[in-house]
Amino acid sequence: MKRLINDPYDVVEEMLEGYVKAHEQYVKLLEHDGRVVVSKKAPVENKVGIIIGGGSGHEPLFLGYVGEGFADAAVIGNINTSPSPEPCYNAVKAVDAGKGCLYMYGNYAGDVLNFDMGAEMASMDGIRVETVLVTDDVVSSKEIKDRRGVAGDFYVFKIAAAKAALGADLDEVKAAAEKANANTRSMGVALSSATLPSTGKPIFEMGEEDMEIGMGIHGEPGVRRGKIEPADKVIDQIMEHILPDLPYESGDEVSVLVNSLGATPLLDLHICYRRVAQILKEKGIKVHKAFVGPFATSMDMAGMSVTLLKLDDELKELLDYPCDTPYFVQK
Partner 1 sequence: MYENYVLDKAYFVKVIADLAAIVEEQRDYLTGLDSAIGDGDHGLNLSIGFREVTKNLGEWQKENLTILMKKIGMALLGKVGGSAGPLYGSLFMKMGEPAAGKDAVDFNEFYNMLKVGIEAVEMRGKAVVGEKTMVDALRPALDTLAGAIEEGVEPKTAFEKMLDSAKSGRDSTIPLIAKKGRAMRLGERAIGHVDPGAASSCIILEMFYKNMP
Of 331, 285, 328, nearest in space to 155 by CA = 328
The backbone torsions φ and ψ at residue 236, rounded to the nearest 5 degrees and listed phi first, read -55, -45
Closest to partner 1 by CB, 111 vs 130, is 111
Among 241, 270, 283, 316, interactor with its own copies by CB under 8 A:
270
Our CB check for partner 1 shows the closer of 43 and 54 to be 54
The closest alpha carbon to 146, from 93, 109, 174, belongs to: 109
Least distance (Å) from partner 1 to the CB of residue 218?
4
23 assigned to active site: no
DSSP 246-297: TT--TT-EEEEEEEE-BSS-HHHHHHHHHHHHHHHHHHTPEEEEEEEE-SS-
Decide if residue 228 touches its own copies (CB under 8 A). Answer: yes
Residues at the contact surface with partner 1, assessed by CB under 8 A: 8-9, 55, 77-86, 108-110, 113-114, 117, 140-141, 146, 148, 196, 198-199, 203-204, 216, 218-221, 223
| The one catalytic residue among 23, 218, 241, 270 | 218
* Alpha-helical segments (H) within 133-247: 153-165, 170-182, 231-245
CB of 282 to its own copies, least distance (A): 14
The one among 8, 40, 81, 270 contacting Mg ion by CB under 5 A: 81
Q: What is d(CA 186, CA 313) in angstroms, rounded to the nearest whole number?
A: 22
277 binds its own copies, rule: CB under 8 A: yes
Q: What are phi and psi of 162, to 5 degrees?
A: -65, -40
Whether 270 is catalytic is no
- Residue 302 bridge partners (DSSP): none
Contacts of 240 (CB under 8 A, 6+ apart): none
How many whole angstroms separate alpha carbon 278 and alpha carbon 281? 5
List of residues 6+ apart from 12 with CB closer than 8 A = 35, 56, 76, 77, 78, 79
For residue 293, which of 257, 329, 330 has the smallest C-alpha distance? 257
Residue 9 or 125 with smaller CB distance to its own copies: 9
Contact partner at residue 46 from partner 1, its own copies, ligand ADP, none, CB < 5 to 8 Å by partner kind? none
Judged by CB under 6 A, the chain residues 129 through 168 that form the site for ligand ADP are none
CA atoms of 307 and 270, how far apart (whole Å): 14
Candidates 109, 145, 199, 205; binder of ligand ADP (CB under 6 A) is 109
Binding of its own copies by 64 (CB under 8 A): yes
When the beta carbons of 81 and 278 are compared against ligand ADP, the nearer one is 81
Q: Give Cβ neighbours of residue 166 (< 8 Å, ≥ 6 apart).
A: 318, 321
Marked catalytic residue, from 58, 241, 270, 288: 58
Partner from Mg ion, its own copies, ligand ADP, none contacting 264, C-beta within 5 to 8 A by type? its own copies
Chain positions contacting ligand ADP, by CB under 6 A: 81-82, 109-110
Chain positions contacting its own copies, by CB under 8 A: 1-7, 11, 14-19, 21-23, 25, 56-57, 59-60, 64, 189, 191-192, 197, 208, 211, 228, 230-232, 234, 256, 258, 262-275, 277, 287, 289-294, 297, 299-300, 302, 304, 324, 327, 329-331
